[in-house]
Structure 1
Amino acid sequence: MIVDVDDCVSKHLAEFVSQHSQSNGWYVDKGYVYQDGNRFIYYKKYAFNRSCGTCRIVRYNLYDLPEKMEDANLTSLIHLDYHKLTEIKQGVRLKQLPFEGAVYIIGNGENIYQAGFDTFFGAKVGITLSIRSRIREAFNYRLLTKSIRREFGLYNIN
């Protein structure tokens, strides 16, 4: 699993993977988006893997990795963990992780969503949500609880 500096994973993840070590792997379909310092966290109940790179856990021997890094094809390494894919190779699919697996932290200087939720939802690039969509999105915000902080190791950076 590739984990970026702007992401946190569930404290239950390593134990789950260890208990299912024969599986090909999983993708994180459900997770959270958090802006540092905010009292609320956005619950992304599906397609988390389309927004965040920390979303795939793959059994390493499913990749055709060279013995030495200098023998690797740079292009294939770049595409090695393309986070939107749920199929590693023909017929080898990842399963959906059965719990919220990660938190994507935005607006912290380490990712493309520098202005936080505004850019995450497209406000700064001219995309406007309908009133119906805004109301629907509002229901996805949750109060950032101590329980969520503990599960993902979230603490204020600033």
Structure 2
Amino acid sequence: MLAFIIPLKSARMSGSWELVCALFKRTLLSVCNQNSLEYHVIVVCHEKPEIDFYSPKVTYIQVDLPLPSSDYDSKEKDKMLKMQAGLLHAKSINASHVMFVDADDCVSNKIAEFVDKNSKYDGWFIGKGFDFQEDIQRLRLRNKNLHLRTNSSHIIKLNWLEREFYLLSDEIKRGNCSLYHIDTVSILEKRGAKLSLLPFRGVIYITDNGENMWWKQDSIAYSKSRIRGGAITYLKKFYRFLITQPITETVKREFGLYTISR
């Protein structure tokens, strides 16, 4: 059985808790849209998200961790400790494999079935998928190295990942947090884990979702006051349009992707 582990940031660290909950609900619906019942979802959070969706396949683990500060390392430590708490629960329910999922990404509905049919393998990295640019509602095809862009990046046999997280636990507590999708996985491979490329597009990595939009109306207004700045702004937007594509019904069905209303 595959355990999806979703670490969720605190409401007190969110710019908009309402938006965080809406993005999380879409992620949860996507994860729970699996073609196989051989999965469980573990959500690790300070506060339970305010959503109108329930499934017996979902367990919430509320933690009493200190709130992180605003710097990157502190936020990464918070996420890693939540991931570790999720691993402990995954072990208690006898999961064979684990996939960490960022709380705004979407995943293919074929993943749990694939893992169930290939449970003897150490794991897979998700090199192929999509970026979804929320602000312009378009997809960008990624044919390689998607696993280096998002934490929703690997499916790994629990015994390998559990061992590595315990080795890292003291470092995590001291705040020396390795990036899971780069450092930890490379360590696993050096220790002998054999990870293969997932043979289908596995993840939609969500960007520009309202927390970090880089094409905002106020910046456009400022750029328009300068001819060169305005031209660069519109060229960037045009380039983003050219390298992306509309959402298809096939993608919507497989990944559970839909527009978040604001």
- Provide the TM-score with structure 2 as the length reference: 0.45
- Residue among 117, 125, 129 paired with 1:19: 117
- Residue among 247, 251, 254 paired with 1:144: 247
Match of 1:5 in 2: 103
Matches within 5 A, 1:48-87: 48-63=146-161, 64=163, 72-75=169-172, 78-79=177-178, 82-84=180-182, 86-87=185-186
- Separation of aligned partners in 1, 2:100 and 2:123: 13
Matches within 5 A, 1:48-127: 48-63=146-161, 64=163, 72-75=169-172, 78-79=177-178, 82-84=180-182, 86-87=185-186, 88-90=188-190, 91-110=192-211, 113-115=212-214
SS of residue matched to 2:119: coil
Give 1:37 deviation, angstroms. 5.7
- Pick 1 or 2: higher relative contact order, CA cutoff 8 A, min separation 6: 1
Match of 2:260 in 1: 157
Match of 2:43 in 1: none
SS of residue matched to 1:41: strand
Residue type at the aligned position of 2:116: S
Give CA-to-partner distance per residue, 1:16-71, whole Å, 9 cap, x none. Answer: 011100110000000100122634210011110111110101001113155xxxxx
- Separation of aligned partners in 1, 2:202 and 2:115: 11
- Separation of aligned partners in 2, 1:33 and 1:53: 13
SS of residue matched to 1:147: helix
Residue type at the aligned position of 1:59: K
Q: Which segments of 5 or more consecutive residues in structure 2 lack a partner in the other structure?
A: 1-98, 216-231, 233-237
Residue type at the aligned position of 2:127: D
Kept in 1: contact 2:105–2:152 (CA 8 A): yes
Kept in 2: contact 1:42–1:141 (CA 8 A): yes
Q: Which segments of 5 or more consecutive residues in structure 1 lack a partner in the other structure?
A: 67-71, 117-127, 129-133
* Identity over aligned pairs, percent: 31
Match of 1:122 in 2: none
Structure whose CA Rg is larger: 2
Kept in 2: contact 1:37–1:156 (CA 8 A): no
Q: What is the RMSD of the two structures over their aligned residues, measured on CA atoms?
A: 3.0
CA distance 1:102–1:146, change in 2 (3 Å): same
- Separation of aligned partners in 1, 2:126 and 2:254: 15
Instruction: Give the helix-richer structure, 1 or 2.
Output: 2
